[in-house]
Structure 1
C-alpha cells in the first residue's frame, strides 16, 4: 500500500510522488510505441515509410492539440477529476489502436490517444503545486524522469512485446495499465480545485494564448523547447529506418533496446532539478543546448559504427532532458495561479516542434538518407543554442534597465494576480 508519510521537508509524500511519476510515464508511453515498429506496422497495414512515419506525427500533433485544449482546464476545474477522466479515455483509445484494421483507423486512434494522454501534463503541475517551493526543481525532475522513462522505455517494451505477440499486444497492455492508473489516481490524489469562478472555457483558452504576449520568458523558452524537441524527434523517428537496414539489419525487439540508452540520459533529470534548486538553471540550459548540438556528430558517425551511435544517442537524450527540466523550472516559477495555462502554452510549442521534426524527417530520409537526417537534427539543435544566447542577452539588458523586476518574471503587464518568485536564475 502506498505510504502517506511526508517528505522530510514537509512537501509531497514519497509514495504519491512515485505514483505521479509512474502515471506520467505510462500516459506518454502510448505515443511512442510505434517508433521502433514503423517498418513492421507499415508491412502489415500496407503503408510505405513516409506514411508509416505519419503515425509518429499523428501522436505528436494530437498531443499538441490536447495541450492547448485540455491542459488549461486544470486552472478551471477540479484537477483530480480531470486527470482521472483523461487517463480513462486514453485507455479506451488504446483499445481502438489495438484492434485497428487499417492505417486510417490507426492514425485516428493514435491522434485521439495522444489528445487525452495529456493527462500526464495535468499531473506534472499538480505535483509542483503540492511540493514545497524550495524543492520544486527536484519534484519536477522526479516527475519528468518518470515521463521521459515512459517515453524512452516505450520503445524497448514495444519491441519486446511485438516479438511475443505482434505489435497489437503493446497497445492491449498499455490500455490495461492506463485503466489501472486511472483507478489509483482516483484513490490517492487529493482534491485540488481550479478557479472556475473567474473564467469561462473560451476565456481560459484566450488567457492561455495571452501568456505568450505577457511573458517574454515563455516566448523564449517555448522557442528553445520547440527546436530541442524537433531535434530529439528527428533522431527517434529515423532510428528505426536506419537499424532495420544494412549494416545493422536488426529486429524490432533489438531496435527497442535503444530505449534503454535513452533511459540512462533521462535519469539525469533529478540532477538537473537539484542544480536548478541551487540557482544554476541558466547554466543547465546553456550546457544542454550545446550538448544537444554536439551529439549529432557521433550520431552521424553512427551510420556504420554502433559505438558512435550509442554515444550520440546517450548524449542527445541527456541534453534533451536537461533543457526540458531547466525550461520548466524557469516557467513554473512565473505564475502559480496560472501554472496549467503556462504549462499548456509551453508544451504545446514543445510538441508542435516534435511533430514538425518527425514530419521533416520522413521527407529528409527519403531524399537524403542518414546524412540528411543528421544535418537536419544538427541544424535544429543549433537553433536552440542561438535562441538561448539571444534570450540571455535580451533578458539581461531588460533586467539592467529595470532591476526591480526578477528575470524569472515577465516584463509586461499581468492579466492575473502574480506571485513573485524568489528562485534564482544565475
Structure 2
C-alpha cells in the first residue's frame, strides 16, 4: 500500500515537471491563481466557435506557434510561457466572465483574440485587473481609445482609416454612391458605426442591408441593393460563411459592380475555395500584407516550415505573431511579468517595432497616449483577387499614401 502511494506521488511529480517544461495550453484554465516559479502565464481569450472563429482560430494557432518558438529558445529571461485559454464566442455579454476567469487562472498578460465588440466589453475588466492586454486582430479604433483603455492595446490600422482608403478609391474611380451589406454581429455593428459616417462624407450611401451571421439566403438583400443602383458595394462582415454567401449572391445578381470588403475575406484562405469561380474578381479587400516587406517574408518562411509549403500567410498570422513578441519585449524591459503596471509602462515605451505586416518599413509604436500601434497608414494595402479567386496582390487603381502620423 505504501509503495502504491509512493508511485502515485512520483507519477504526479513527474507530470508536474513535464507540464512546467512545456508551453502548456490549458483550455479549461488551471484553477491556480498566479504563475508558478519559472513560468509566465499568458491568458488567451480565443473565439474558437463563434462568429469570429474564422479569423480568431488562425490568429490563435500562430499565437501558440510564437509562444512555442519563444519557449524553445529559452523562454522570457529563462521563464517558460504557459497559456490559459477561454472562449467568449465573440459575444460581448460573455467577455467579462471569460476575462475574469483568465485572471483567476493566473494570467499576467492577456491576448484578446476575439471580435472587436467583445474586446470593447473586456476593456473595463482588464483595467480593473490592472493586466496588459493586446487585441491582435481588432480594427475598431475605440478598442485602443478612452474610456478604460489604460491597459488595452491594438496593432492594426483602424476602420476609420479603412474608410479613408475607400473614399480615396471611390474618388479615384469617380464613384458617387455605395451600398453596404453587413452581417448582424456585434463586432460588425461597432465597425459600421465608425465606417459608414466617414463614407457618407465622400459618397452617398444609397442602401444599408444586413442579415444574421448564419443566414442561408441573401437574395432579398441583394435585390434591394440592385434596385438602389450603387456605383460600388461594401461587404462588411466577419467573413466565413456569410461573406462567401454575400459574394456568391452579389456576383450572380449584380455582376461587374466593384465590391469593397474588410480584411476578412483576404485573410481566410478556406473561404476562397468555397466561393463560386470568378465571384471574387470584382472584390477589393483591405489587406495588410506586402510581400516586399522582409519581416513578412521571414514569418511566411517560418510558418511554411511549421505548417507545410501550401500554408497561406494572412494578416491575422502576422498580427498575432507580433502581439506575442511585443508582450515579450515589454516583459523583458519590465524585468519580469510579476508587476503588470511595469509591463504596461514598458509597452508604452515601445517605439519603431518592425511589423510582420504592412508595407516595407512599417512600424508599431505605443505611448501612454497612443495604444493603437500603427505608425501611419503603411499598414494598409488595398488588394484584389483574380478570376480563380486567388489574391492578385496590391490593387493597381489606388493605394493609400504611406504617411507618418
> Would the TM-score normalized by the shorter structure come out above 0.5?
no
Higher strand share: 2
Bigger RCO (CA 8 Å, 6+ sep) = 1
Larger-Rg structure: 2
Higher helix share: 1
